[in-house]
Amino acid sequence: MTAKVEIYTWSTCPFCIRAMALLDRKQVEYTEYCIDGDREARAKMTQRANGKSSLPQIFINDRHVGGCDDLHELEYQGMLDPLLKDTAA
């Protein structure tokens, strides 16, 4: 079983596109929540992300890992693959 990956996006956000491209290259299945103009969804995301309201916001197994730069930093440090293989929720 693989990790549960969720990403909150805005359809024209270049950082969102870049984060999803990394996940796609790694062949990771993820759930995308495109929240264009949806204030309630953004408020829910902000609450889940400990007050962070920028996009994207990424969660792996319900753990907030941050945004695009954070995701790429995890990849650079070799810490993303272990997170993606961790099936503990």
Whose CA is closest to 7, among 60, 54, 53, 79?
Answer: 60
pLDDT score at 88: 54
Identify the CATH number of the domain in which residue 29 sits: 3.40.30.10
Distance CA 25, CA 48 (A): 26
CA 30 to chain centre: 8
For the chain, residues with pLDDT lower than 50 are 89
Range of the domain at 29: 5-85
The number of domains in the chain is 1
pLDDT score at 87: 62
pLDDT score at 2: 82
pLDDT score at 1: 59
Distance CA 45, CA 86 (A): 22
On the CB side of 88, CA atoms within 13 Å amount to: 2
pLDDT score at 89: 47
